[in-house]
């Protein structure tokens, strides 16, 4: 019995070594490119198919999750990065990783044609290049709004009016990057003191804070709440599915975030990673990036979604470096004011 | 322990038998299990928990993070809330489970098999399903929100309902086992002495089930206090410790603070563990070899009452899942209630595909096979080997730790450890192997406890007799122990299987391009606003696990007939 077992073990080991050897030999045929991303999952196939059509010898392998999960995973892997390229990731997450020497500089072909707002201003060639921007937005459910006699809000300040008490949901900046986008934009627009005064007033109207940034608009779509503070992309999709939503872009100005890409320092597939970077800012790819988003990196590509509001003029002058450097402090202050005591309120 | 050396000096010449070849083999086995647990549990956890003493650059800062954490007022709300939720859920769950198990074991009500099967359903469902159901039932558009009388579901009420639903099967399994092991002779004696039914209940039934009840309390409490899934989706602004970890780690990428909360969270769980061990030490075996199994006698009124109770609980369980199935079919809740099968086209949906579903099946199968082998062998060696007390105690403790570790902490720990530069095991990173290893670890404790319980029932004489007959212990293990413990082994395997199908919190950090999982897809689909497909995929998981459970039941029956005939009188 024992010799039998030994024989089998040896055989299994030999097989394993053999498989490793063969695997190593064959792998050169087609390059697998490991791409970490947080873009909406329903867009993955679109980008993969289009890219692989142009580069048939490269095979994109996605690892996709929400920005928070991917941010944590990237940071946890910092001593031994696994991805070849981080693509379609919030620029704030990339900025957070740069001090760990996470990325290598590369100027993709045609980078000079891009709107300079989307390109790493600190390094030349750039460490990161933006793909497109998404903006903060407010969703208003017309059916529930009518039921509760709520006028359609036009500005951020409108949301603090007593009539909206208990009818607004926004994400918690302690859990969600989108929420921090809102908070930091208010501070950048009005100064910290006035922004917190605004949030004091807003807090009185908030029904609850969610942990996911896209949840408020989804809850509004499902009629759980008349007004959700979130971002725009999902609204387009929810409306298509039949949600009675109106997309509002408050008049004072909108916080926004760049979805960007950066090549990882130790990638073994540099040529393929660069190919994806080049392809990404090509006109063809930029057109794929456009639907539902505020703007793309390459100027002159309109958003094909029909009733998508023109938000270009409302995007604030967003200082990402400032927002990143002050995040810990601001979130702490926010948490102390609104989160510590956020027992569920009764209506 | 403190008087160890002295005791050793006295005992050594008297008791210590010659360490034979057998014992060396056993000790080698113990060492292997010990190394396994070090690699799978202790080293990874150390890599993350040690971060609580470091700053973001990895420099040692002593207790600074703790000082900062304990200075925030939010903490006390979280601790308070966590304890409240855990205690309330524990009392309700254990109360319900006791009543249900009492009906199953002590009454002659009809349909016991069906009731038992229904009670185990919640364990098959990803935690998002009850959350979706609760929203559809009690949310702003809820079908029966009037029942809450103006209170919101998004808060402690929702968390407690969600946690009770999810932990009920765990508690039921333990209490059911405790109540089934009862000696009819005690009841006969009580009756002969003229004790009233109530008195018998308090003097015979409850003391007999005491250990099971306490274990159930311990398990439910720990499960609830470390769970972030339910409070995250239904808890509104009600902060609990497990969600604090989520905020620190996922929301702010602050691993240091996340590690601090992780360690704080270990404290109540370890306390519960110590308390559990102390009580266990006092427990004397109630079931001797001569015990006669108790068989209930018909009592119309009592049986009807139990039927009504169990029926209500079963109805609620089925109802909650029924709503989830409805959610999977409805076109656009609540504005377009027409039904359609669109949601099942997973390949067109966000975040998941049938591929993810097959990966989950693979993960579940491997977790069940490998996990059962490792855990049962480990439990056997810890339980049945001789000598080496301290080492066995340590292994026992290592087996208990995973229960107290929230999934997020475990998942990140696996990244830190297995992705470290120079780790010879680094090649398993981003493969199915690390998912299997992590899932086995995640569900190690309850499986280990089940195995130990089963092994404790076995008389130590088996080993004594076989060793006197010069049969090597591994032959006894394969020829006697494994067949005798077959029901427990099959229970462990199904427990691992269904949990691997639904687990999210740890594996979400570890899956890669080729190893996406259905349970994660459910979460991502809901995250993308596709509630119906999320519910559809969730229900697919439920049906798969239920099918496997059914096959398992048929298989168990076959095997039970062959291996358990000795139990009959």
Q: Report the C-alpha gap between B503 and B127 in whole angstroms.
A: 9
> What DSSP state is assigned to residue B205?
I
Among candidate residues B161, B528, B141, the one with its CA nearest the CA of residue B352: B528
Q: Which tens digits make up the pLDDT trace of B134-169?
A: 989 998 888 888 888 888 888 999 999 999 999 999
Q: Which tens digits make up the pLDDT trace of A22-79?
A: 444 444 578 999 999 999 887 888 999 999 999 999 999 999 988 999 999 999 999 9
Please check whether residue A4 lies inside any domain of the structure.
no
Q: Are residues A121 and A153 in the same domain?
A: no
Token output for B543: 């049906």
Given this model, what pLDDT does residue B523 score? 83
Please check whether residue A113 lies inside any domain of the structure.
yes
Residue A6: which pLDDT band, with cuts at 50, 70 and 90? very low
Q: Are residues A111 and A87 in the same domain?
A: yes
Please check whether residue A272 lies inside any domain of the structure.
yes
Q: Report the C-alpha gap between A342 and A322 in whole angstroms.
A: 28
Q: Report the C-alpha gap between B231 and B237 in whole angstroms.
A: 9
User: How far A144 CA lies from chain B's nearest CA (Å)?
Assistant: 10
Question: What is the chain B residue with the closest CA to A59?
Answer: B513
Question: What is the chain B residue with the closest CA to A175?
Answer: B251
User: φ and ψ at A161, to 5 degrees?
Assistant: -65, 145
Q: Are residues A238 and A280 in the same domain?
A: no
Among candidate residues A73, A219, A158, A319, the one with its CA nearest the CA of residue B139: A219
Given this model, what pLDDT does residue B5 score? 43
Owner of token pair 């297995």: B418
Q: Are residues A214 and A328 in the same domain?
A: yes
- Residues of chain A above pLDDT 70, percent: 90
Using a CB-CB cut-off of 8 Å, the residues of chain B touching A72 are 249-250, 253, 255, 412, 509
Count of residues making up chain A = 347
In order, the DSSP letters of B208-263 are: HHHHHHHHHHHHHHHHHHH--HHHHHH-TT---HHHHHHIIIIIS--HHHHHHHHH
Q: Report the C-alpha gap between B342 and B358 in whole angstroms.
A: 20
CB proximity under 8 Å: A 203-262 to B: 208-209, 211-212, 214-215, 217-218, 221-225, 234, 237-238, 241-244
Optimal mutation site among B79, B233, B250, interface A, most CBs of chain A within 10 A:
B250
Mean local confidence (pLDDT), B489-508: 91
Rank B114-128, B367-381, B397-411 by mean pLDDT and report only the highest.
B367-381
Mean local confidence (pLDDT), A202-208: 94
Q: Does residue B497 have a pLDDT over 70?
A: yes
> What DSSP state is assigned to residue A344?
P
Q: Are residues A305 and A327 in the same domain?
A: no
Given this model, what pLDDT does residue B263 score? 87
User: How far B259 CA lies from chain A's nearest CA (Å)?
Assistant: 13
User: Is CATH 1.10.760.10 what the domain over B23-46+349-563 is classified as, yes or no?
Assistant: no
Q: Report the C-alpha gap between B432 and B394 in whole angstroms.
A: 29
Which class is B72-336 in CATH?
mainly alpha
Q: Does residue B11 have a pLDDT over 70?
A: no
Token output for A158: 């409108």
Mean local confidence (pLDDT), A151-177: 94
Q: Does residue B3 have a pLDDT over 70?
A: no
Query: Hey, are the CB atoms on B74 and A243 less than 8 Å from each other?
Result: no
Q: Are residues A156 and A46 in the same domain?
A: no
For residue A271, what is the domain's CATH number?
Answer: 3.40.190.10
Q: Are residues A230 and A218 in the same domain?
A: yes
Of A64, A75, A222, Cβ closest to residue B253: A75
Token output for A80: 């031994």
Of A72, A177, A238, Cβ closest to residue B249: A72
Query: Hey, are the CB atoms on B150 and A221 less than 8 Å from each other?
Result: no
Q: Are residues A237 and A295 in the same domain?
A: no
Count of residues making up chain B = 569
In order, the DSSP letters of B317-353 are: HHHHHHHHHHHHHEEETTTEEEE-SGGG-GGGSTT--
**pLDDT-wise least confident of A224-238, A253-267, B309-323:** A224-238
Please check whether residue A141 lies inside any domain of the structure.
yes
Query: Hey, are the CB atoms on B252 and A331 less than 8 Å from each other?
Result: yes
Please check whether residue A3 lies inside any domain of the structure.
no
Query: Hey, are the CB atoms on A243 and B332 less than 8 Å from each other?
Result: yes
The ipTM of this complex is 0.86
Query: Hey, are the CB atoms on A243 and B335 less than 8 Å from each other?
Result: yes
Among candidate residues A86, A66, A34, the one with its CA nearest the CA of residue B504: A66
Token output for A159: 């949301």
Give the total number of structural domains in chain A: 2
Question: What is the chain A residue with the closest CA to B421?
Answer: A80
Q: Report the C-alpha gap between B171 and A92 in whole angstroms.
A: 44
Q: Are residues A249 and A266 in the same domain?
A: no
Q: Which tens digits make up the pLDDT trace of B430-469?
A: 999 999 999 999 999 888 988 887 787 676 777 778 778 8
Q: Are residues A209 and A268 in the same domain?
A: no
User: Maximum distance among all alpha carbons in chain B?
Assistant: 82
Work out the number of other CB atoms within 10 angstroms of the CB of residue A98. Answer: 16
Q: Does residue A20 have a pLDDT over 50?
A: no
Q: Report the C-alpha gap between B272 and B240 in whole angstroms.
A: 18
Q: Are residues A165 and A263 in the same domain?
A: no
CB-based contact (8 Å) between A333 and chain B? no
Tell me if B452 sits within 8 A of B379, measured CB to CB.
yes
Q: Which tens digits make up the pLDDT trace of B468-486?
A: 888 888 888 888 888 878 8
> What DSSP state is assigned to residue B514?
T
Residue A19: which pLDDT band, with cuts at 50, 70 and 90? very low
The whole domain housing A55 covers: 11-133+257-311
Output the CA angle B464-B468-B472, nearest 5 degrees: 85
Work out the number of other CB atoms within 10 angstroms of the CB of residue A15. Answer: 10
Q: Are residues A143 and A193 in the same domain?
A: yes
3-state secondary structure of A38: coil
Q: Provide the mean pLDDT of chain A.
A: 87
Domain ranges for chain B: 23-46+349-563, 72-336
Query: Hey, are the CB atoms on A66 and B527 less than 8 Å from each other?
Result: yes
């Amino acid at each position: 019995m024992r010799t039998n077992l030994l024989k089998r073990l040896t055989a299994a080991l030999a097989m394993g070594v053999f498989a490793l050897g063969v695997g190593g030999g064959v792998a050169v045929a087609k390059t697998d490119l490991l791409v970490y991303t947080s873009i909406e999952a329903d867009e993955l196939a679109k980008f993969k198919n289009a890219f692989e059509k142009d580069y048939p010898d490269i095979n994109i392998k996605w690892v996709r999750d929400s920005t928070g999960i991917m941010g944590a995973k990237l940071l946890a892997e910092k001593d031994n990065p696994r991805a070849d390229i981080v693509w379609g990731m919030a620029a704030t997450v990339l900025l957070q990783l740069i001090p760990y020497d996470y990325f290598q500089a590369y100027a993709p072909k045609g980078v000079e044609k891009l709107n300079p707002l989307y390109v790493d201003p600190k390094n030349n060639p750039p460490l990161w290049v933006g793909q497109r921007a998404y903006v903060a937005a407010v969703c208003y459910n017309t059916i529930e709004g009518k039921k509760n006699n709520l006028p359609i809000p036009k500005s951020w300040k409108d949301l603090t009016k007593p009539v909206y008490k208990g009818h607004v949901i926004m994400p918690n900046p302690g859990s969600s990057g989108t929420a921090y986008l809102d908070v930091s934009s208010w501070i950048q627009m009005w100064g910290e003191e006035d922004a917190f005064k605004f949030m004091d007033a807003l807090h009185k109207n908030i029904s609850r804070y969610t942990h996911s940034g896209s949840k408020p608009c989804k809850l509004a779509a499902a009629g759980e709440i008349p007004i959700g503070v979130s971002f725009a992309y999902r609204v387009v999709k929810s409306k298509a599915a039949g949600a009675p939503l109106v997309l509002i872009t408050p008049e004072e100005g909108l916080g926004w975030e760049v979805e960007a890409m950066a090549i990882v320092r130790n990638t073994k597939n540099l040529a393929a990673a660069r190919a994806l970077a080049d392809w990404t800012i090509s006109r063809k790819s930029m057109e794929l990036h456009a639907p539902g988003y505020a703007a793309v990196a390459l100027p002159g590509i309109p958003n094909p979604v029909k009733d998508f509001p023109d938000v270009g003029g409302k995007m604030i002058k967003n200082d990402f470096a400032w927002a990143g450097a002050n995040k810990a402090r601001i979130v702490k202050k926010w948490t102390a004011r609104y989160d510590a005591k956020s027992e569920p309120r009764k209506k | 322990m403190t008087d160890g050396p002295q005791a050793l000096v006295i005992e050594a010449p008297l008791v210590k038998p010659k360490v034979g070849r057998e014992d060396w083999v056993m000790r080698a086995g113990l060492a292997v299990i010990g190394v396994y647990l070090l690699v799978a549990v202790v080293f990874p956890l150390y890599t993350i928990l040690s971060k609580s003493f470091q700053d973001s650059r990895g420099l040692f800062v002593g207790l600074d993070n703790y000082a900062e954490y304990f200075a925030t007022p939010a903490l006390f709300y979280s601790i308070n809330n966590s304890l409240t939720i855990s205690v309330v859920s524990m009392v309700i769950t254990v109360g319900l489970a006791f009543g249900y198990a009492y009906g199953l074991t002590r009454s002659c009500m009809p349909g016991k098999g069906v009731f038992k099967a229904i009670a185990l359903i919640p364990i098959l469902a990803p935690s998002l399903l009850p959350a979706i159901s609760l929203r559809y039932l009690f949310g702003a558009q809820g079908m029966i929100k009037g029942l809450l009388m103006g209170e919101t579901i998004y808060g402690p009420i929702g968390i407690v309902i969600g946690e009770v639903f999810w932990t009920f099967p765990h508690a039921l399994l333990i209490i059911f086992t405790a109540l089934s092991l009862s000696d009819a002779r005690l009841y006969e004696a009580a009756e002969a002495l003229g004790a009233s039914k109530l008195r018998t209940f308090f003097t015979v039934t409850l003391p007999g089930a005491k250990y099971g009840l306490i274990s159930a309390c311990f398990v439910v409490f720990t499960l609830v206090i470390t769970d972030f899934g339910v409070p995250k989706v239904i808890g509104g602004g009600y902060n609990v410790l497990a969600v604090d970890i989520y905020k620190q780690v996922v929301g702010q990428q602050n691993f240091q603070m996340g590690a601090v909360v992780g360690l704080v969270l270990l404290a109540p769980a370890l306390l519960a563990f110590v308390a559990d061990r102390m009580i266990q030490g006092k427990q004397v075996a109630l079931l001797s070899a001569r015990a006669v199994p108790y068989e209930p006698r018909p009592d119309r009124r009592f049986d009807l009452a139990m039927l009504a109770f169990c029926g209500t609980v079963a109805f609620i369980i089925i109802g909650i899942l029924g709503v989830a199935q409805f959610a999977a079919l409805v076109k656009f809740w609540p504005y377009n209630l027409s039904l359609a099968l669109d949601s099942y086209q997973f390949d067109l949906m966000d975040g998941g595909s049938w591929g993810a579903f097959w990966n989950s099946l693979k993960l579940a199968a491997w977790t069940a096979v490998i996990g059962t082998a490792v855990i049962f062998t480990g439990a056997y060696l810890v339980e049945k080997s001789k000598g080496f007390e301290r080492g066995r105690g340590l292994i026992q403790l290592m087996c208990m730790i995973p229960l107290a570790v929230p999934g997020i902490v475990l998942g990140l720990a696996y990244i830190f450890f297995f992705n470290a530069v120079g780790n010879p095991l680094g090649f398993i990173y981003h493969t199915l192997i690390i998912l299997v290893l992590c899932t086995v670890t995640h569900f190690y404790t309850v499986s280990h406890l089940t195995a130990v319980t089963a092994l404790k029932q076995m008389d130590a004489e088996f080993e004594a007799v076989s060793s006197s007959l010069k049969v090597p212990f591994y032959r006894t293990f394969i020829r006697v122990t494994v067949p005798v413990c077959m029901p427990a082994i099959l229970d462990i395997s199904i427990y691992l299987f269904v949990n691997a199908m639904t687990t999210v919190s740890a594996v979400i950090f570890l899956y890669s391009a080729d190893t996406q999982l259905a349970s994660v897809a459910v979460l991502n689909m809901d995250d993308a606003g596709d509630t119906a497909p999320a519910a559809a995929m969730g229900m697919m998981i439920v049906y798969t696990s239920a099918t496997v459970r059914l096959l398992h039941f048929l298989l168990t029956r076959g095997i039970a007939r062959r291996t358990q005939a000795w139990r009959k009188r």
